[in-house]
Amino acid sequence: MSMKNFASKAANIRLTDEEADKAQNRAATTPRTAPGQLMHLQAKSEQQQDEIDRLKKELQKAKQMGGAADVPLSELHEVPGRRRYMAPEKYSELRDNLRHNKLIHPVVVLPRTEGGFEIISGHHRSDAYRELGRETIRCVLGEATAEEADEGAFFANLMQSDLTDYEKYVGLKRFQTEHPELSKASVAERVGISPSHISALLSFERLPHEVRKILEANMALLGANAAAELAVLAEAGKSDRVLEAVQRLAGGKLDQSQAVKFARASVEPKKAVTAATNFKIRSGKTTWCDVRSAKNVMRIEFQSEEIASSVRDAIRKHLEQLAKPQKT
């Protein structure tokens, strides 16, 4: 068949309306070849980036107008160490409130270079929305830099009274790692608490490793002041005693002050117990008396009161004779 005849026949092919609808609604299939898959992923990535760019513009416009914009929760990302502490019961109250009421305070975010947005504040509101099955949440662009956001969360957590001393120590240690140029005095000045309290919080670091493992499982077990006293004892060579004290504390056998006293107390070696000795004095085949001695005590038991009375004077005279000074 010539190309002319083939083209003529192809031109006469017509799809029915039903066939055209099926072709229009047919779902696109994923490419099977490697180049095709790569092009598909690139196109998908470009679409996602376009969506993020659109959200950025929308947030910027909303910021200029003093408003907020809806952002998919899937585009919000958490930065480690930035989450502020909230007691479990308060979080439950927040979630129940958001279940029935509108969000009053939008989540504050910053754009990420790798795409999406990082949360500056509003972690718990985002968590609550996710648990409630929501897909988007109202957001605003923040004014602070990422570093300022990290420091703000750290200082807020350090001053949070509901946080345990061990949790404050963990945050303080992380902050020191990120800012090695700052002294304890500089950190204390920026936080607004005394250098002595900073030192007390950091004393957890000086406890034996086994003790810190116990505290990681129960962060409310030991306060900073007790930790400072135990750290001094551990450094003085009483690590085993400190570990035993914290184990007893974890088991509910001691409170914090008792644990410190227990660790401070000297372990006295047990004195050897002197075994008692016994012997019998016989008169023929019968026992005349039983003698028992232990350390500096001797006990003589006679078979009758009459015998005891008859020998009392003899024993006294014999003892008096033994007590006389010996001539040299």
CATH, residue 243: 1.10.10.2830
Tell me which residue has tokens 């003899």. 314
End position of a domain, from candidates 264, 282, 314: 264
Q: Identify the domain boundary among 264, 289, 314.
A: 264
315 vs 232: CA distance, rounded Å: 60
Instruction: Tell me what the mean pLDDT of segment 237-262 comes to.
Output: 95
- Sheet-wide strand order for 107-111: 69-72, 136-141, 107-111, 117-121, 76-77
Q: What's the total number of domains in the chain?
A: 2
- Within a domain: 249: yes
Average pLDDT over residues 36-47: 56
Is 14 part of a structural domain of the chain?
Answer: no
Number of CB atoms found within 10 A of residue 254's CB: 19
| pLDDT (average), residues 239-256 | 95
Give the domain extent around 256: 164-264
* C-alpha dist (Å) from residue 302 to 293, 299, 307: 15, 10, 7
Domain boundary among 217, 233, 264: 264
Answer yes or no: is pLDDT of 313 > 60: yes
Residues 151-179 have a mean pLDDT of 80
Largest CA distance in the chain: 153
Give the mean model confidence (pLDDT) for residues 109-130.
91
In a domain, 13, yes or no: no
Interatomic CA distance for residues 103 and 127, integer angstroms: 13
Q: Does the residue 150 lie in any domain?
A: no
Look-up: residue for tokens 């039983």? 290
Residues 186 and 111 in one domain: no
Is 205 found in the same domain as 176?
Answer: yes
Highest-scoring range by mean pLDDT, 47-56, 159-168, 199-208, 259-268: 199-208
Chain segment 73-113, per-residue pLDDT in tens: 999 999 887 887 788 899 999 999 999 999 999 998 988 88
Write out pLDDT tens, residues 284-296: 888 888 999 988 8
Distance CA 310, CA 321 (A): 18
Same-domain check for residues 172 and 248: yes
**272 is a domain residue:** no
Please state the length of the chain: 328
**Strands 136-141 and 107-111, how do they pair?**
parallel
Strand order in the sheet with 297-302: 277-283, 286-294, 297-302
Would you say residue 205 lies in a domain?
yes
Q: Who contacts 28 (Cβ-Cβ below 8 Å, separation ≥6)?
A: none
Average model confidence (pLDDT) across the chain: 81
> pLDDT category, 174, cuts 50, 70, 90?
confident
